[in-house]
A and B are shown apart, each in its own frame.
Chain A
Amino acid sequence: MSLPRHLFTPSFRHQHLGRSLAAIVGIMVFIATFAVAAEAVLLTAGYLWGRNLETRLTVEIPAVGDEATLPQAERVRQALSILRAMPQVAQASPVSDGDVTRLLEPWFDEPQLLKALPLPTLIDIERKPGADLSARQVGDALKPAVSDARVNDHGTWTKDIWKLVRGLTILGGMTIALTALALVIAVNLICRTVIATERETISLLHLMGAENIDIARHFQLQATHIVAKAALAGFCAALAIISILLFCTRNIADLSTLQWGHWFGVAFAAALVPACATVIAAVAARFSVMRLIEDFP
C-alpha cells in the first residue's frame, strides 16, 4: 500500500500542528540529549575516578617540632620501609613538596605564608589488586615507628561520591523517562487533532477497503518524517551547546581523565536520543491512530 504522501499533510499544516509537533520534539530531544550526555559523562568520569582512588591510601606524617627525637626525613624513610615491606602494598612513594604545595595553593592567598608553614609529608600507597588493606592496618603497622601518622582511605569517600553519582543518575533517568512520556502524550494529542480534522477522509478510506493498520501506518510515516527532522535539529542544538559549555568550563570541571574512546561513548549514548525519540513517536503515532479510529464506520 502506498497512499499519496501528502494525504494528511494539510491537517498537519492546519493550525501549525506539524510545526508544533516538531517544536515539542526538538525541545524534548534537546533536554534529553543534555540529560543523557551529562549522565554518561558523570558515570564514566565517576567510574574512572573511583577506580583510580579506590586502590589508594594516603599516609600523612605531621611535620615535627625541634623537640622531636628523629628528624622528619628519617621518620619518612622508616615509614616507607615498613609500608614497602607489607605484602598488600604494590607501591608506596612520598608526594613531593612541590605537589603538596600545589595541592594547598588554592587555599592560601599568600604563597609566602605557605612556605612558612610546617607542612606534613604525604605518602601515596597503592594496594595490590584484590588486596585487603585497610587504613587501620596501615596505621597499626606504622605505630611503632611513626606513632602520630594518620592514614586516609580514599575508598571511604569515593563511596559517598558514588552515592551522589547514583542519585544524579536516577534523576537523569527520571528526566529521560518523563521526557519520553511527554513525547508520547504530545504525539497522541496531535494525532487526536489531525484525526478529528481527517474524520471524513478516514471514513472514505475505510469505505474503499482500507484497514486501520493501513491508515495507522501511513499516519506513522508522516509523523515519523516530522519527528525525525525535529529530533535531529534538537540533537544538533544540544550537541553545540554542550560543546560550548565544556569549552567554557574547561578550567572548572577537569575531565582530562576521559579519553577519546570515552567521549565517543558519550556521543554515541547522546546520539541514541534522537533515534529513540523517533522510534517512540512512530510507535506512539501508530498505536494512537489505531485506538482512535477503531470505532470509525
Chain B
Amino acid sequence: MLLSFKNVSLVYKPDHQVLDRVSFTLSDSGFYFLTGPSGAGKSSLLRLIYQAERPTSGDISVFGEALDAQKKAELRRKIGVVFQDFRLIPHLSAWENAALPLRLMGVEETYVKSHSRELLEWVGVGHRLDARPDELSGGEQQRIAIARAVVTKPKLLLADEPTGNVDESTALKLFHLFDELNKLGTAVILATHQSHLVDKFHKPALRLADGRLKRF
C-alpha cells in the first residue's frame, strides 16, 4: 500500500479547520491528481505526507507503515517534493541543485556528477547545467526542481502546484514529464487547481473542497 489516510483532521486554530476527517487509500504506484480550489487544503495534505505537519487527529500510513513509526529523515529520502516556487538554491548551479539529495545520501562524487547531469539531460535542461537559477526561465527552473526531486529514485513524488508559475504550454510539458516519471515506477501525487489540464490526462483525482474529500 502506498498511502492511507483514516479520518485525518488538521486544525491550525480552533476556528481554522484545514482538513476535516479525510479518508482515502492509494494502493499502487499510480499517478494521482489532487485537485480543488485554492485554500482547499491540498498543500496541507501533502505536508502531512512528508511530515512537515502532524495531523490533529486520525492515522496516516505511508508505504504500509504508520507515519509516527517512521523516522522523519528516512521517510523523506523515499519521497521527492516539487513546489510551485521551485525552491532552488540561488547560488548553486543547475546540476549542483539537482545533485543535492545524492550528496546528502553520501553517494560517490563521480556518480553524483554523472547521474545528475544525465537526469538534467532527460528533463530537457542538459544545455543549462552550469547556469544559476536566476539565469533560467520558470519552466527550466521547475525541470531542475523535478530532477532534484527524483534524482534519488524516490518511491513517491509529491508535486505541489508545480505548474503555478509557468505558462500553459510549459505546464503541459511538465505534466507529461511527471507522467513519464510515473511510467518509470515512481508514484506521483500532483496537487493542482488547473482542472482543464487535469482533464487532458485520464488519471484518478482526489478532489478537496473546504478541507473535505469530495470525490475520489
Question: Which residues of chain A have a CB within 8 Å of any CB of chain B?
Answer: 1-4, 6-7, 9-10, 200-201, 204-211, 214, 297
Contacts and interface: CB of A to CB of B under 8 A. Distances in A.
B103 A3 contact: yes
B96 A211 contact: no
Interface of B: 50, 52-53, 72-77, 81, 87, 89-92, 96, 100-101, 103-106, 109, 148
17 contacts: A1-B105, A3-B103, A4-B92, A4-B103, A6-B91, A7-B92, A200-B87, A201-B89, A204-B89, A205-B100, A205-B104, A206-B73, A207-B81, A208-B148, A209-B104, A211-B73, A297-B53
Contact of A1 (B76, B91, B106): B106
B87 A208 contact: no
Nearest to A200: B87
Residue of B52, B73, B92, B96 most packed against chain A (CB within 10 A):
B73
List 10 A-B pairs, minimum CB-CB distance, nearest first. A209-B77, A209-B76, A208-B101, A297-B52, A1-B106, A209-B73, A211-B73, A10-B91, A210-B104, A208-B104
Contacts of B90: 10
Nearest to A13: B91
Q: Is the interface of A mostly helix, strand, loop or mixed?
A: loop
A78 B91 CA distance: 91
A64 B104 CA distance: 92
Contact of B104 (A1, A6, A200, A201): A1
Given A7-B89, A204-B89, A207-B50, A214 B76 contact: no
Contacts of B74: 209
Contact of A208 (B53, B91, B100): B100
Contact of A206 (B76, B103, B105, B148): B76
Given A200-B87, A204-B89, A1 B77 contact: no
Contact of A209 (B53, B101, B148): B101
A4 B116 CA distance: 14
A167 B91 CA distance: 53
A20 B131 CA distance: 31
Given A4-B92, A297-B52, A208 B76 contact: yes
B143 to A, nearest CB: 17
A4 B101 CA distance: 11
Given A207-B50, A297-B52, A1 B89 contact: no
Given A4-B96, A200-B87, A206-B76, 8 more contacts: A2-B109, A6-B92, A10-B90, A205-B100, A205-B104, A206-B72, A209-B75, A214-B104
- Scoring A7, A205, A208 by chain B CB atoms within 10 A of each residue's CB, the highest score goes to A208
B101 to A, nearest CB: 4
Contacts of A209: 73-77, 101, 104-105
Contacts of A200: 87
A2 B76 contact: no
Nearest to A204: B87
Contacts of A206: 72-73, 76
Given A9-B91, A201-B89, A209-B74, A1 B52 contact: no
Contacts of A3: 100, 103-104
Contact of B77 (A2, A4, A208): A208
B91 A207 contact: no
Nearest to A214: B104
Nearest to B47: A297
